[in-house]
Amino acid sequence: MKNTIKVERAKKNWTQADLATHIGISRQGLNSIETGKFIPSTVLALRMAKVFNTTVEVLFQLDDLEE
């Protein structure tokens, strides 16, 4: 699973801690999601998309192997 969280964060000029606070998880947890180690739940993905004013499909994409 690929994601564009880092790009979206950069657009808003947010640190990982800022985003983590907005979506209600720990900074380490967000780092784990951003680096692709942890796949978030649908609720968390939707919450993340909402704070970035975008869609889940923009934030998360399947890898070639997963398609």
Partner 1 sequence: MPATWLLTGQRFSQPVSVLIAVVPIITFAIFIVKFINDFSVLDEVKQRVQLEAVVIGFALTAMLLMLLFLLGLCDISNPDLFGYGQLAGYCWGFYFIGWLISKKKYGV
Q: Does the protein bind partner 1 through residue 53 (CB under 8 A)?
A: no
Q: Using CB under 8 A, which of 15, 17, 38, 58 touches partner 1? A: 38
**Nearest-5° Cα angle at 7, 22 to 2:** 95
Placement of tokens 């993905």 in the chain: 45
Q: Does the protein bind partner 1 through residue 25 (CB under 8 A)?
A: yes
Beta carbon nearer to partner 1, 29 or 54:
29
CB of residue 41 to partner 1, shortest distance in Å: 6
Cα 23 to the center of its chain, rounded Å? 10
Q: Residue 44 in contact with residue 25, Cβ under 8 Å?
A: yes
Q: Using CB under 8 A, which of 28, 53, 64, 67 touches partner 1? A: 28
